[in-house]
Structure 1
């Protein structure tokens, strides 16, 4: 239990608090509308559907207040630097963003279904031929003091939905939400990133509709003055005498003032400031100093930008106006802070990256002058979990495929600090694991590992970095070829002294060995890779952490974009 709390305790606490606030708001507002005297006559018309519509509306206000905060990347980067106690929770910003979005979808569904029942009750209450309480209530009032917004029993429901402010804004909010959620699924986001990118900007319509949705004041209750003069419990059975007896004057109703803007104005202001900062920063000139085409269609861009400062493992957003003026794509920085430039490695996997490969001359063999290269805009850098690698004496770095990019920056910077005897360098040992499906994926990163390997041998500290490279997508022919060359001094695939391994790591054995070698140590485990691997490593981190506070503890961290 203690091991689990080390890795997940604070995150679970945050989620429980968030769920608790949602539950409190739902129950509290449900009781207000289900039992409050102000809405006694409203309940006579609508029944419990009134409370079922208003309770999720309160939760929607709360969650719509939160939804923008996890994507204020400059704010998160600032908090990472000033709040050391909650940095790991800030790294899970996208996961929390998704959870809040699902909660918004749930409450939106409840809200819509309940209001469909309310609308039906409003219609039927106007249609009673006998003078029932519902019929009397529906006919009360003028343009300001009515209770039932449906003033004519022959009203067309479709016309109401598409001509009233509440109806139009509600439809716009719902459509925007459906499009944003459905196009943000893993399949769409990875295969059709542009679709995800454009539809996600419907959040502007979503928030605009959200702010004006309540202006129509559809949900109404007795005014304070009417409550004082007209006791609903006493007068409800005397509705035929309202206005004729002193104790029961005709009740007066008013709509609830719109409240959503009070919840979302703060986050919206922060997000606008965020976008302004990013807009100004992204318009600073970027110069491409070098373009390198690596095997397996990996493009390396080395760039310079005045005032650009980075930390290891950080990422930037990149835009190429020659491809699209609207699309920004995140890429991890592969350079180290000590270098005089910053670089990214781009794997060609989609339309945008393929276009970038071509406009940068990746498909051409001849040299290309710098002035012929496209204009690149860079926004960032932004903080990630990998920044925390220097907080540990021992680190386990796990990269899958192109997910190795943040560790290129880390390994370069760590070795620079180590060779220059940086007194602030706490890190003493690195375990590096790289998993790839194909041999061609190793080629671009092998040069860096070869350089580190040779330098470590020269300095007599080959044990500082232990690395293991795994080829996961292999067949019988490759295995035979591997066996034939196993006795060679260097690996036939990478050219490194450390031989490439086939299959997948036995994480149980790896974690056991690390725990044995580093007792009484906090070991940072860092992953840039798929969610399935993240679950495995998180499970291993918990399982192999000691119950004794003085023992070894594995702290799991994952890159999120």
Structure 2
């Protein structure tokens, strides 16, 4: 194989990058100021042996020694403007900083701690529960404190999954801009956090009440004596109220658990919670979404049981009238003298009114309205105007629906009754608000999406008639972080793999705004796309090509700067890239902007953007894996100026 010098160097560069990236060990010392990549970690001769193609390239280049080979790669690195973890080079290390504070977590945690401590000490010190503490000890306070925290978290658990409520808050001035507004993008995380809070407080509550039942039973047994025995016998005589709910010395804890209102409802609520949480794991959701969906709706039983759980009034305290007549300080030690006519009358007790329903009534009503809205939208007809089958098993659906209004970056939930009456799947809208339809791109990546693509004839040679298309139900649209892109003068959009989908609507909208507005607030968009296999997203490359052509024709090319990074290729692709490197358009995407091979040097990219826009507020929007998300968050903190007049990066992550 004979290749010209430049193409041979490019081919060598690609092969060496791929080989060394997999072999090179990169270490970072905590607290160090620099990260050093050394060639000593791998054998350079082994690198050149990775493929026969690389050996043939070496014979073509006729470089005299290893140093000249390394110098050639240095030159290619400068030409192609990408970072290689290959040569001896120094990168600025991220300082060790604490994670950014999340206000909603701190507020939620603070409220839980306050409610628990306040309730705990109230039941430990309140006079009306002194005789109850004689029977139960400190487990009374543990049970009641965890119950209040449980009610508080049950009040919150439904709010983060009320999508229409969140969209309403986002669209109004109720939530101001800034860090608090960005918390709306973390509603699912907050939902999971509150669920853990419910699980922890339920465990404390159950264990405490099991201990209480055992202590009630022990106080009623013949072995008990003294004040506990006297308190347990109250209620046997006329005109007396009981304190110990276990009325027989022969009763068992299991019998009380299965025959009382509090016991049965508590058991049902606990089992419902266990079933809901165990079926919510990532593995189960991916393996069987229908199982997750069905078991998650057991929460209805949980809330019903919670609302009536306190109706049994098993935890009882002394009545206010009895406290006035019965001086517990004086009468406590004189329990043998308790008589109706004596200075120490028999104490009277009553159960605490159930309060859980008061905590959850409002959120349950809101969530019920949420489901009514969803059912109403389910009944609305969706008109499918166009079906496009793209390469790599990607289906594009263009639809219309009455009174449907969207914003860039929003998503919808789609249900196909012919596939499943239960499953609603989220898909990001890929159309712009200025278009007279809304669209989604669906890749056949699972059972449901594969069935949907097959139902719409994706991959068929002959398109189906419109009347034969299956019916779809659409719920939404719902807001996401990308709707804030236009609130910044400069926005940086970063996508990794399939995370590129939400940016289709955004880039289209950028084009329409640049075309219609003379001075839009958003003046510059930097777009980064990192992918391993661009063939799976050929439809997006076509979109970029269309935008590139339109903006060039209208003289608006300066509004958008995009960079595509390819992280995966094989030897055949490397040869093809090398042979066509001198062409005017990129051989992978067909765009004028050439594709970069490798991963971005985020230090360099953020430094350049900060230099280009001093004193600006820059929004950073990302959709992709968590590992890269943490890196970008660190970059935003690192390159944000401490001076209020300097440049500031605001990080947002797309999720639903």
What is the TM-score of this pair, normalised by structure 1?
0.94
Tell me which of 550, 556, 560 is aligned to 2:651.
556
1:529 is aligned, of 624, 628, 652, to 624
Please state if 1:126 is matched with 2:220: yes
Matched, 1:497 2:592: yes
Q: Cα RMSD over matched residues?
A: 2.1
Counterpart residue number, 2:251 = 155
In structure 1, distance between residues paired with 2:568 and 2:277:
33
Structure whose CA Rg is larger: 2
The one-character-per-residue Cα deviations of 1:507-546 (angstroms, maximum 9, x if unpaired) are: 2211111111111111111112222222221111111111
- Superposition pairs of residues 240-259 of structure 1, within 5 angstroms: 240-243=336-339, 246-259=342-355
Q: How many residues align?
A: 554
User: Would you say the 8 A contact 2:377–2:473 is kept in 1?
Assistant: no
Matches of residues 42-57 of structure 1 in structure 2 within 5 Å? 42-57=132-147
Tell me, yes or no, if structure 1 residue 20 matches structure 2 residue 116: no
Q: Please show how residues 59-208 of structure 1 align to structure 2 within 5 Å.
A: 59-83=149-173, 84-85=176-177, 86-129=180-223, 131-141=225-235, 145-208=241-304
CA distance in 2, matches of 1:180, 1:266: 22
More off after superposition, 278-287 vs 334-343: 278-287
Secondary structure of the structure 2 residue equivalent to 1:288: strand
Q: Residue 397 of structure 2: which of 301, 304, 307 is its match?
A: 301
Q: Give the Å deviation of 1:447.
A: 0.6
Cα displacement (A) at 1:63? 1.3
2: distance between equivalents of 1:255 and 1:89? 41
Task: Tell whether the 8 Å contact from 2:262 to 2:312 is kept in structure 1 after alignment.
Answer: yes
- Alignment match of 1:441 (pick from 499, 524, 536): 536
Aligned residue for 1:346?
Answer: 442
| Shift of residue 449, structure 1, vs aligned partner | 0.5
Given that 2:289 and 2:423 are in contact with CA atoms closer than 8 Å, whether structure 1 keeps it comes out as no
More displaced stretch, 500-509 vs 73-82 = 500-509
Determine the C-alpha separation between the residues in 2 that align with 1:384 and 1:209: 34
**Partner in structure 1 of residue 68 of structure 2:** none
Question: 5 Å matches for 1:271-290?
Answer: 271-290=367-386
**TM (normalized to structure 2)?**
0.81
Which is further off, 541-550 or 69-78? 69-78
Question: Is the Cα contact below 8 Å between 2:245 and 2:314 reproduced in 1?
Answer: yes
| 1:405, distance to aligned residue in structure 2 (A) | 1.6
| Larger mean Cα displacement after TM superposition, 135-144 or 464-473 | 135-144
Whether the 8 Å contact between 1:347 and 1:402 is mirrored in structure 2 is no
Q: Deviations over 1:311-346 (max 9, x none)?
A: 111111111110112221111110001111100111
Q: Offset at 1:444?
A: 1.9
1:490 touches 1:498 (CA, 8 Å); kept in 2?
A: yes
The structural deviation recorded for 1:130 is 5.2
Shift in alpha-carbon separation, 1:316–1:130, aligned structure 2, 3 A: closer
For structure 1, which segment, 137-146 or 97-106, has the greater mean C-alpha deviation from structure 2 after superposition? 137-146
* Pairwise CA distance, 1:369: 0.4
Q: 1:327 to 1:409 in 2, by over 3 A?
A: same
Indicate if the aligned counterparts of 2:393 and 2:459 stay in contact, CA closer than 8 A.
Answer: no
**Structure 1 stretch 182-191 or stretch 118-127: which is displaced more?**
182-191
Which runs of 5 or more structure 1 residues have no equivalent in the other structure?
none
**Offset from partner CA, 1:272-293 (integer Å, 9 cap, x none):** 1122222212321101111112
Residue number in structure 2 paired with 1:413:
509
Q: Is the 8 A contact 1:474 1:503 kept in 2?
A: no
Alpha carbons of structure 1 residues 494 and 191: separation in structure 2 relative to 1, 3 Å: farther
SS of alignment partner, residue 70 of structure 1: coil
Structure 2 residue 487 is the aligned partner of structure 1 residue 397: no
Q: Does the aligned pair in 2 maintain the 1:442–1:494 contact within 8 Å?
A: no
User: Structure 1 47/480 Cα, relative in aligned 2: closer, same or farther at 3 Å?
Assistant: farther
| Inter-partner Cα distance in structure 1 for 2:599 and 2:574 | 14
Structure 2 residue ranges without an equivalent (≥5): 1-94
In structure 1, how many angstroms separate the alpha carbons of the residues matched to 2:293 and 2:321?
A: 51
Aligned with 1:18: secondary structure? Answer: helix
Whether the 8 Å CA contact 2:166–2:184 is kept in 1: the answer is: yes
Deviations 1:463-522 (A, max 9, x none): 321112222344455445434433332222211122223332222211111111111111
Cα distance change of structure 1 residues 295 and 133 upon mapping to structure 2, 3 Å threshold:
same
Distance 1:503 1:128 in 2: 79
Query: Per-residue deviation at 1:387?
Result: 0.6
Q: Is 1:384 aligned to 2:480, yes or no?
A: yes
Question: What are the within-5 Å matches in structure 2 for residues 507-522 of structure 1?
Answer: 507-522=602-617
Q: Is the 8 A contact 1:183 1:195 kept in 2?
A: yes
* Contact 1:191–1:350, Cα closer than 8 Å, also in 2: no
Tell me how far 1:179 sits from its aligned partner: 2.4
- Counterpart CA distance in 2 for 1:321 and 1:416 is 35
Taking the aligned partners of 1:444 and 1:475, their CA distance within structure 2 comes to 22
After superposition, what is the alpha-carbon deviation per residue over 1:83-130, rounded to whole angstroms, capped at 9, x for unaligned?
Answer: 243421222211222221111111111111111211111121111335
Query: Which region of structure 1 is more displaced relative to structure 2, 528-537 or 204-213?
Result: 528-537
**Secondary structure of 1:488's aligned partner:** coil
1:153 shift after superposition: 2.2
